[in-house]
Amino acid sequence: MKFPALAFLLATMLCSPDLTGQNAATAAKTAIDSIIEKKMLETGIVGAGAAIIIDKKLVWSNGYGYTDRESKTPFTASTLMNIGSIAKTFTGACMMKALEEGKVSLDEDINAYLPFKIVNPYYPNAKITLRHLATHTSGLADRYPFYSDSTYYYGGAKPEPLGEFLRSYFLQGGKHYSKANFLDKKPGTYREYSNIGAGLAGYIVELRTGKKLNEYSKQHIFGPLGMPASGWFLSEINTGNHSKLYNKAGGSIVPIPWYEGTTYPDGGVRTSVLELSKFFIALLNDGKYQRARILKKKTAQEMLRFQHDAANKPENVKLEKLNSGLFWATKMGATRIGHNGSDPGVRTFMLSDLTKEVGVILFFNTSLTEEEEGKYFEFYDELYKYALTIK
């Protein structure tokens, strides 16, 4: 049996009589740094940031490589970058806050909130709810390649307004309308991940609260948690601390322009591993971080509660592999909970064990090839092993 490099090194160090506990911890840190830096060199990843949460407390963070390869600017735990689909958990928290305020219901027909009517042509009389949107069981689909080709705007180009896009996508006769925007599945019966569905949930929160998500988040999440550097749009953050993004193609690592998305509730948040750790702790801790509470305990628990059981689950979900909270899910064979993110130049992890005792946040500013996707999980596994040694 071969021991993983970190585990073997730690075992050797901890058994050595001339190492104090403090020295062993220092050596372990050196070991994890060496492992990460070696893997970054092997894969070509330009920059990375990481944080470890133990028992609802941030206990370790670090940055590796560069936020700007050309200027050799270090990537730190305070470096900002867009976090991909982890942003959905912010949309989910805003949705749950609006629920607390009595402005939405998880089980009301979404057409009660919209200025246009969404009808699945396969099931025209079926009700779609926010709960369906938040568990990816709404029957609304991301039509590819349209979604990836038409909702990302690079180099300062202004995205299509969210409400206009959703109207034209879901309303028959709209310029983006297609029957392929819907699944031939009744809402609640089939799970298919939908970014546009998350965009729709965020839009409903905006309509019902009268505030854009960035404003609502600042009031109810960023402000209370002490996340002053975080935001949704490039115009509201310090871009001088925003990482450049890179893509691996044809064996080369090339920079790509910053971008914003039409359906920003599905992936638009920009933050650092340090600031994100505060939000993650709040979710794991029933809505509370230190003295700040962003959600009532009951509301936060409902957001993280597994929504499916053997008697009530989508037909294509195997509970031993996947279950879902509200914009929250099990990952890695149902051994972790939280959310991941993937966008051009972006790969992120915000995952905890099922007991909520050990959490890992991990950012990368470089997209690898599809064949190398598993390399990201190798980084995560090494960080998780290191977290267990800290615990």
pLDDT tens track for 94-113? 999 999 999 999 999 999 99
Cβ-proximal residues to 3 (8 Å cutoff; 6+ apart), any chain: 11
Q: How does the average pLDDT of the chain come out, rounded?
A: 93
pLDDT band for 25, please (50, 70, 90 cuts): low
The pLDDT of residue 391: 87
pLDDT band for 9, please (50, 70, 90 cuts): very low
Distance CA 131, CA 106 (A): 5
pLDDT band for 167, please (50, 70, 90 cuts): very high
Tokens for 17, please give them.
Answer: 């009589």
pLDDT tens track for 341-391? 999 999 999 999 999 999 999 999 999 999 999 999 999 999 999 999 998
pLDDT tens track for 218-261? 999 999 999 999 999 999 999 999 999 999 988 899 999 999 99
pLDDT of 326 strictly over 80? yes
pLDDT tens track for 251-282? 899 999 999 999 999 999 999 999 999 999 99
pLDDT of 200 strictly over 50? yes
Distance CA 28, CA 60 (A): 12
Which amino acid is present at 127?
A: K
Which amino acid is present at 74?
A: P
Distance CA 70, CA 6 (A): 31
Averaged pLDDT for residues 118-125: 98
Q: How far is CA 156 from CA 147, 259, 263, in A?
A: 19, 7, 16
The pLDDT of residue 29: 64
Task: Enter the DSSP assignment of 182.
Answer: B
Distance CA 83, CA 74 (A): 18
Q: How far is CA 236 from CA 29, 109, 114, 364, in A?
A: 35, 33, 28, 22
pLDDT of 333 strictly over 90? yes
Distance CA 36, CA 195 (A): 31
Distance CA 324, CA 318 (A): 11
Domain 44-390 superfamily per CATH: DD-peptidase/beta-lactamase superfamily (3.40.710.10)
pLDDT tens track for 63-86? 999 999 999 999 999 999 999 999
The pLDDT of residue 381: 97
Do 213 and 91 meet the contact criterion of CB atoms below 8 Å apart? yes
Burial 63-80 (b: 16+ CB within 10 A, else e): bbbbbbbeeebebbbebb
The pLDDT of residue 28: 60
pLDDT of 10 strictly over 50? no
Q: Report the share of the chain in percent with pLDDT over 90.
A: 91
The pLDDT of residue 295: 98
How far is C-alpha 142 from the geometric centre of its chain's CA atoms?
A: 18
